[in-house]
Structure 1
Amino acid sequence: MKHFFSIIGGMGTIATESYVRLINHRVKIAKDQDYLNYILVNDAQVPDRTAYIKDHSKPNFFYDLQDDVLGQAKLNPDFFVMPCNTAHYFYDDLAALTDIPFLHMMRIAVHRFIEEYPKETKIGLIATEGSIYDHLYEDEIHRVHRDVEFGGPEIQPMVTKLIYRDIKEKGVVDGKLYHQILQKMHDDYGCNVILLGCTELSLAQEKAPDHPYNVIDPQSIIADVSIELALKIRNGMDPAEACKKYMYK
């Protein structure tokens, strides 16, 4: 197969399925051959990311991802994409394993925020406890000189329920709960824009988009970027050159 990209997924599987569905349905096609070439590594056995980030005595998820990246690197994909926000805890270590471009979903999403909302000085953030605990998105947002609003102590339990109890454990999206979280972030904490810092939250946005709030959806954004880059490379652009505009430092 010529000109393909590798998806390091399975964290979780339903969220990865959402990403794949987005790229398949958003690319413009007139025949089978117009779809994108990709290899999906749906590694559902990767240990829980939040558990390790909060407690290093828990299984370290780096080694599973290391095996996945090194295995795919042997096939020489044009670029890597990893549709899991919390797994970016090990982004630098994973990207260093290969010279193949490795897109940073979180960084791309934060830059999209400042491009689309240049006058906003802060952004609301809802994410896994692991991402919040280790400041993964917070650091990226501060890097572009914006402030972060996490909301009050009632927010995280609601977010955790939506991500873990509903989507990861039951495979369902509680649209009412999702909308309630967005409403509280907007009304109670003054967030004009809310960043969905977990791909399960991106799934919630896909399934329950009927709300009036401005969101930055990293999975939706990385899906569009994946399509853009794959088509440029298919049309003859060098992969490193195509990816260069999104390799933010």
Structure 2
Amino acid sequence: MMSPLLGVLGGMGPAATADFLAKLAAHTPATRDQEHIATIVYSDPTTPDRSDAILADGEDPLPAMFRGIAFLDEAGCDLIAIPCNTAHHWYDDLAAATTVPVVHIVDAVAAQVERDAPDATTLGLMATDGTVRSGIYEKVLAQSGKRVIDLTDLGPDNPVMAGIRAVKAGSLDGARDILSNAARELLGRGADGIIYGCTDVSAVLGLPPDGIDAPAWDAAEALAIACVNRIRG
């Protein structure tokens, strides 16, 4: 019998997709290749920028994402993961386009936060400006009485966006330094912990960031663990 098949709608960006797959393998209980999760990856890095679509009337990424969802659906996937936080602005549209369950990345993170730090009141979000504008983290975390803060008030000087752009450009060491400093700034603003709400951030920062003594949660890791739990029951 074929094992349950995980579909990954990726390419947003490529490094983030590769990092998600590594975390999926790392969190799968397995002693040999045959015990890992069967996975099909649809990776389309030409998908229009999600933040531009939310913030600046940029090209709509939904048609490209719909093509990926259709591909994974037709391939017979039993579960779909989207390792891009900003893409979850369109979660309802994407989930409605298939009968296959789609794991919600923010729900996965929120479950970890509630488990690890139920008394935390303020969380620093490291995410694209589009994700922040969409309010997807704020809405979910508010249900457990948690407030979300970010650095979007810094505008073009926002170090989170600078770090994300550095990841996409392949400057990983530079991105790591920029994003670690962004985490420190969020803690300085009163955050009780940090959420890596962009899978490009997840691709370069460990848990917690180097030199930082505060809890942190990685959306890519949370999504990977949620997928393992759903598929392995």
TM-score normalised by L of structure 1? 0.85
Q: Distance in 2 between matches of 1:227 and 1:100?
A: 16
What's the CA shift for 1:89?
0.9
Alpha carbons 1:125, 1:149 under 8 Å: kept: yes
Q: SS of 1:80's equivalent?
A: strand
Matches of 1:161 and 1:113, distance apart in 2: 26
Paired position in structure 1 for 2:193: 193
Distance 1:189 1:207 in 2: 20
Corresponding letter in the other structure for 1:41: Y
Counterpart residue identity of residue 141, structure 1: L
Stretches of structure 2 that go unaligned for 5 or more consecutive residues are none
CA contact (8 A) 1:79 1:101 kept: yes
State the shift of 1:213 in Å: 2.5
Aligned residue number for residue 126 of structure 1? 126
Query: Is the Cα–Cα contact under 8 Å of residues 207 and 218 in structure 2 kept in the other structure?
Result: no
1:108 aligned residue: 108
CA contact (8 A) 2:180 2:205 kept: no
Identify the residue that residue 30 of structure 1 maps to in structure 2: 31
Displacement of 1:194 in angstroms is: 1.1
Per-residue Cα deviation, 1:149-207 (whole angstroms, up to 9, x for no partner): 2247448621111001x100124243222221111211x21112111110011112249
| Counterpart residue number, 1:93 | 93
SS at match of 1:40: strand
User: What is the aligned partner in structure 2 of residue 70 from structure 1?
Assistant: 70
Q: Look up the match of 1:238.
A: none
Alignment-derived partner of residue 50 in structure 1: 51
TM-score normalized by structure 2?
0.90
May I ask how many residue pairs the two structures share in their alignment?
Answer: 229
Q: For 1:3 and 1:107, how far apart are their aligned partners in 2?
A: 22
- Matched-pair identity in %: 24
- Conserved? CA contact 2:208–2:214, under 8 Å: no
Work out whether residues 173 and 207 of structure 1, in 8 Å CA contact, stay in contact via their aligned partners in 2: no
Aligned match of 1:146? 146
Equivalent residues of 1:7, 1:83 under 8 A apart: yes
Runs of 4 or more consecutive aligned structure 1 residues displaced over 6 Å after TM superposition: none
For 1:221, the equivalent position in structure 2 comes to: 222
What is the one-letter code of the residue matched to 1:44? P
Question: Which residue of the partner structure matches residue 169 of structure 1?
Answer: 169
Stretch of structure 1 that moved more, 4-13 or 94-103: 94-103
Q: Secondary structure at the match of 2:119?
A: coil
Q: Per-residue deviation at 1:127?
A: 0.8
Q: Do the aligned residues in 2 keep the contact of 1:151 with 1:189 (CA within 8 Å)? A: no
Distance 1:54 1:162 in 2: 19
Query: Which residue identity is paired with 1:47?
Result: P
Is the Cα contact below 8 Å between 2:103 and 2:227 reproduced in 1?
no
Q: Distance in 2 between matches of 1:117 and 1:30?
A: 32
Q: What is the match of residue 244 of structure 1?
A: none
Contact 1:52 1:61 in 2 (8 A): yes
The alpha-carbon deviation at position 208 of structure 1 amounts to: 8.1
Secondary structure at 1:216 match in 2? strand
CA deviations on 1:115-150 (whole Å, 9 max, x unpaired) are 211111221112101111222222222233221122
CA RMSD of the aligned region, Å? 2.0
Could you list the runs of 5+ residues in structure 1 that have no partner in the other structure? 233-249
Matched position secondary structure for 1:205: coil
